[in-house]
Amino acid sequence: MSLSMYQMSVPLFINHFEMWSGILLKGESFAEKRKIDQEILVNGRLAPDMYPLARQIQIGTDMVRKGIARLASVDAPSYEDDEVTFSDLQVRIKNTIKFLQDIKPEQMHGSEDKAIAFSIRENEFSYEKGSDYLTQWIIPHFFFHMTTSYNILRSNGVKLGKRNFVKM
């Protein structure tokens, strides 16, 4: 028995967005306990030339939301990229989870062979197969941005561990 595109993606993303939400809750709690302005963490970076925490979450949610929409042939909701607090970021994640929960398996049926083409700014991207788009673009980008968010908070002293990133 093989896994469908839906089974390989939507439940995985919902699960990890819930984990990501928990990571943000720990960051918010850390800031409150230490009386740190949460904008310091929300704007935290691993390196000067990397995006801050908020942008990592914006990009991670965009990759999944727009990617699954392309595979399911539906319109992705648009978000403003104006989050400045942990609460704002939680709303963005919750909205993304809600979008994913509304996707039905049959909407993604056959998407493994669907050609996908899109642009980001002046860059054009194309995949001959939706399965390659999912496994080589959406999933790796999602985990890169989730991991980077985790690392930003961890490097600022938030007590996080493997159990905050994966269910054990």
The pLDDT tens digits for 58-68 are 999 999 999 99
State the DSSP code for 78: P
User: CATH number for the domain including 111?
Assistant: 1.20.120.450
What does the pLDDT look like over 4-22, one tens digit per residue? 999 999 999 999 999 999 9
Mean pLDDT for the stretch of residues 95-120: 97
* pLDDT over 90, % of the chain: 95
pTM value?
0.95
Rounded Cα distance between 120 and 107, Å, is 24
Give pLDDT, residue 1: 61
pLDDT tens for each residue of 114-144: 999 999 999 999 999 999 999 999 999 999 9
Q: Could you tell me the residue range of the domain that residue 25 belongs to? A: 5-164
Average pLDDT, the chain: 96
Residue reference for tokens 């399911």: 72
Residue with tokens 């939400």: 21
Q: Which residues contact 159 (CB under 8 A, 6 or more apart)?
A: 26, 30
Total domains in the fold of the chain: 1
pLDDT higher than threshold 90 for residue 80: yes
Q: Say which amino acid occupies 100.
A: L
